[in-house]
Structure 1
């Protein structure tokens, strides 16, 4: 056992050990016990609902047995009643004689009126002198050819069949009916007794709020159902009619709903007919699922709450160990710039404090060691800065501005206003370029103003070759956005020289500044022309050219430099995107991080100042 524990500690880290202990000591036992309890609970609840359903099935069976037995006894009294036989055996010359004789017979009326379970009593005869009167009916050809009538006249035993009647509105009603031959020994005629059970009476006695019941005779359709819309259908549960007494208790899935089902057989008194009684409960399974869901939630809470506590303790403990390990790893790699710390007064925090003391001593000795080298490097750096200033001082920007202003005034005095305007624009452009040489950032508004000046100079060169427009969305303030200087001029120059190369007139340069929504809000500066555009192959080649470094390139250097400046400043997911359609034009889009532009500028400026110090 000790070897197993040692091997376990050797192969796993602290976090894995703690989680494994939680799994083995808490999660696994609760899961095993919980699954056992859930299975046992399901079994108990399922048996409970099956027992209730079986009791309800027995209740329905007793009700039907009571009613059918009572109706059978009534039929026995009727077939042996001599007055009934006399009415059926007599030949009538006139209908009045039938009415007089049958009207004096009250025994049939009494049974129909005194027993609520009886819907009607009908006696059919093929006596040709008979006409329909009260319960006595002439058996016409349709009746005589019916299956139940032919079966009744050929056998003496009682049988039960479902019968349907239709009212004047087309509504169909189903009734379980007792059918038997009424023997007439003094006549050659046949008589059949039909006693129909009241469906409303059966519904009153059988209906239950919790259980559904379906009853059918032999292999026939359902003549009673708690759902009135399902009369006349086959039993929903498969039944083996070959068995003398079929019984089934269990669950069945019907139309996507799981039911508890109990099916039993009732052999009717003094008859070969059988009733198949099916009782169903669709709420039992739902109730069990609800209870099991609550049990599962309780188990989940019992597992999750300790799991969450273990998780946070494990993360807290291991994070402290990892901080100590990381600090020691840094020190072992001669990286003594340790910014992390461990709170507390336990052994881990004390070990970290000792490590910090050791690192401070090492840093102090290292500082003394490299002090001479640093001083030497600073002297060399200072010498290089001085050389740079000397080179820069050889060109005095004010000399250039004053010279251009003198030339402009001479052109103005010579009444050559176009030359004067051109020199003024050139001066503005040169001033912007010289002022931003060596600077890190400028405002977007100044950069756009410089592009406007540059476009005006190009229009002086090409006159009617192209027109231009600069659009900035209303929700933006270019004066508050810091951008890399001289970022747009190479793109605009490329659009004029290459995009509109083949256009003598009618060219158009459209510069748009706006936001681009997505996972991150971006600043999109688009420079579009209406030139000839490029093929997909040329566009793909150009896109590769501005992404890949090639010291021997002699084309697209400006776009490559702009793309690299953006990526090095803001990150590699930003930069230049080119879109072109042959025959329609080209659009170059500069994508910059909208929310981080000023932060990046301030951070780089701070780094530059610290480097100078």
Structure 2
């Protein structure tokens, strides 16, 4: 099917093929990406607008919580006011004495003066001895006593919220509670009416439309005054709800008041959200259309330019196919296609020549590295006569054993083993990690004979590393341990500890040698790091570290080598990074195959 499609595509001209490819690749992909961006950005904006509307509803809830708490606190204060109880229970018949008693009571005036959220504070009482004064006390007549809120107050000891219209017909939220008169047969009901303008100033937000409703009662607050007193809420009004869904994003919240019987419903709507969402859709649609028109124009121009070049190349290939070499001569130096053919042939020849030179250079470099390593190993081991040295050491050891001095014999045997390991690696490019650790153990034993318990050594090798298969340059680890003993533990009075950790990290092996010795001062550490970067043939101090770093970089690459960190009087840590030899061998094979 794939080849059939390409075969059908090849039946069209190059220009037609470009437009055929343009439709699924650019046109459809641009449309799909555009639709995705429109949907995704619209969903994100909708979620953001919904979040902001929810946030505004939560803000309104907080304001209502503070406001209703203030009303409840005032009701609680008046319910426990003994002076007010005396007034409501009075049996004085003299009107002057009653007025004097009322004038001396100023708690109601203080509440009305200091609480701006209160529009009216009224006490309805059945005490006929009290005057019908709307500022303080209002005699409850039969109409009031028959009202729903009054009857509820008579049967309910807790305060409750209620919505009812004022004298002008505007619905307000009121807090109603019966006042306890335990020593009197009289009844008294307290009403605190919430000020509508106070709510409007605290709650109004020009970005959002707000409505408040108590339980399933009429709306007692709305930014549109015509909605105040409506009997059906936003969630139950199908027409109004449809109006919201088409043009606004609505957030709802609820506030359970102190008595837990009443619930205030909060509706916060953003009428500008959908206009902004439509603007976002129009903006992305415009961008997609502009991209489609621009890409179509570019494709059209490119198709014309490209097909003209193809026709010239086709003509050149045709003359070459009929062995019209004079044609190439005629266009040589003048025709671009012919010059490209000649230049490409020259480039191929140059590339082959360059690859051959690179291959020879790599072989020469590898041979130089091998000679350098052999020379360095020869310097380490070739300065003494090994056969004479072994014979001499064996003679001394046998003499010590004959004399019964086993400690001397043991020390000589360790020294001979160490020299044998050194000579064994002479001329060897790589040894196993196991062999390197065996030689290191012999060296540490010799040092313990010299320093005793001042030198304590332990090591850890990760299970990921096969000690018999992991190959590395000889004499890489021992100089690091030797440096820790010679310089790190020199002069300490407490037991010295050296820890060797060998772990694998990706294609590299990390070798860390830590000691708890004297450490290195910061200034000396900087100088030491600088010396290690350049191996010296004259300086005898730290030359082992410099040579290890130089050999590691020369053999494994510049990304490998030594790093040193130290804290004075705490200890020193030396980290050697080398490449995993298995990976190195595979890389070398690939390089050779590529050449």
- Normalised by the length of structure 1, the TM-score is 0.47
- Larger C-alpha radius of gyration, 1 or 2? 1
